[in-house]
Amino acid sequence: MNKIVATIRRLPLSVALAAGLVFALGQPPFELWWLALPALICPFVLMQDLSGSRQSFWLGWCFGFGYFFLSLFWITEPFLVDAARHGWMAPFAAFFMAGGLALFWGGAFALATTMRVGSLGLIALWTLAEVLRSLVFTGFPWGLIGYSLAPLPLVQWAAIVGSFGLTAMALALAALASRSRLGVLSALLIAAGLWVGGVIIQPKAQDLTGRPVVRVVQPNIPQDKKWDPEYRRLFFDRLLALSAAEPAPDVTLWPETALTVLLHQADPFLEAMSAVSPGGDLIFGVQRLVDGQFYNSAVQMDAEGHLTASYDKHHLVPFGEYMPLSGLFDQLGISGLVGFPAGFSAGVGPQVIKTAAGIALPLICYEAVFARDLRGTVRPDYVVHLTNDGWFGTGGGPAQHLMQARLRAIEFGLPVVRSANTGISAMIDPAGRILDHLPIAAEGYLDAALPRAVSPTFYARVADWPVIIFCLMALGLAGIRRRSAR
């Protein structure tokens, strides 16, 4: 054991990079948590021998680069849909995405060394770095450290502390285990207690007899053919056929951009859709043109065929739906994946709609990644998540997206219903259980009874403030300890 530790300390950056790659195996589709969580101990061990902020920065950066490069490698998939135009960007996207996100981790490590706040301070700074990357440039909280706990009962603590709290929890256990053999034993005992606690606080499975039924449609339309006019009628007829089974449900969901025409041009399609679900609502994804601005929208049709509500996506994907610094990129001849020259416009913010199954909060694609996008409205009865993960292939991207939808259900105590073009469509209960699903790259539909929402969770009431305050207090305590040691 001592020889292994000595070898690790001689090659800190190489070992950090390798440990980051191993830590990535905790994310879907691998979910090898038993391998990933020990890898999180490695940077804490390596930090014990470093005194310079530059060395610490590169240590954190290398660990982050390895982690983000492997766990987010699916980011290359959208560039390969139209490989002739965008394929050259794929390797740059993988490298710069991983390198850019790793800057947050490198900065946390450098600050911990500069401030001389030890492992306690590193836990706080690393957690705050994760909060920061969820905010900067509209944020990208994909692959949070706490998500490595998603396959375990410990994930139920998200109902109290949220995903950033899970991150602090995972880091604290890793830091404790890095100190000594006694630290390893202590970390295991605490983890066991948290495991049991997670089982206890998990909401019980519900009797769903008599509950409203939601039909989730998954047409499995290939992204490279989705917008081809020659296939438009074929794919639309597929959506109709999957939606027409008897008995009719209370609500039918179609995925993001299910219609491949603009809403004001869709009258012939809307007429056919009005007969899809007699007695219930149909919620479908479509693009809208309003006053010269394009919106990525979810629209509700009632049983009589009237369009009764709409929601415009407000949290847009950088480079996918709009171009940040568009003037600069125009000069470089880089257009990203934006479908329109000016990109999409953002909606006004979260909104609820009344459906035959209760009050629903629509989220479109990327918005389910952000816990804050479930706030700002009256408390809904359930969350509707329309997405087109056909952009992300059949590997880690769709599986990670589903896992994050599970976290939103746990954090807020709300059922989440997903309709994903190519999968993974699912009915998720307020405890994060997947009650039913359609596998990736499968065509079909499922009818699932809608669970009841549970009482608002502690996290739903207080958001991330307790975790942020805890991190700031931990930094203060670490500073006091440093001065006392002097």
Q: Which residues are catalytic?
A: 256, 313, 365
Distance CA 67, CA 238 (A): 39
d(CA 148, CA 27): 6
Beta bridge partners of 383: 361, 416
Burial category of 211 from C-beta neighbours within 10 Å (exposed 0-12, middle 13-18, buried 19 and up): middle
Which long-range contacts does 228-237 make (Cβ < 8 Å, 24+ apart)? 232/260, 232/261, 235/260, 236/260, 236/269, 236/272
Taking alpha carbons only, the member of 73, 97, 75 closest to residue 21 is: 73
Q: Where are the alpha helices (DSSP H) in 281-395?
A: 326-332
Neighbours of 39 (CB within 10 A): 24
Residues 6+ apart with CB under 8 A from 283: 251, 252, 253, 254, 298, 299, 300, 301, 353, 355, 360, 362, 384, 386
Q: Could you tell me how many helices (H) and strands (E) the chain has, helices first?
A: 17, 12
DSSP class of residue 339 equals: S
* Residue of 312, 360, 320, 311 lying closest to 340 (CA atoms): 320
Q: b/e for 324-363, b at 16 or more Cβ within 10 A?
A: eebeeeeeeeebbbbeeeebbbbbeebbbbebbbbebbbb
For residues 251 and 280, the answer to whether their CB atoms sit within 8 Å is yes
CB-based contact 252:282 (threshold 8 Å): yes
3-state DSSP assignment of residue 235? helix
Tell whether omega for the bond before 424 is within 30 degrees of 0, i.e. cis.
yes
Q: Determine the residue type at 438.
A: L
HSE at residue 118, side-chain half, CA atoms within 13 A, is 16
DSSP secondary-structure letter at 453?
Answer: P
Q: What are all long-range contacts of 349-352, with beta carbons under 8 Å and residues at least 24 apart?
A: 349/314, 349/376, 350/314, 350/374, 350/375, 350/376, 350/377, 351/311, 351/377, 352/377, 352/378, 352/380
Q: Which helix (H) or strand (E) holds 420?
A: strand 416-420
Chain length of the chain: 486
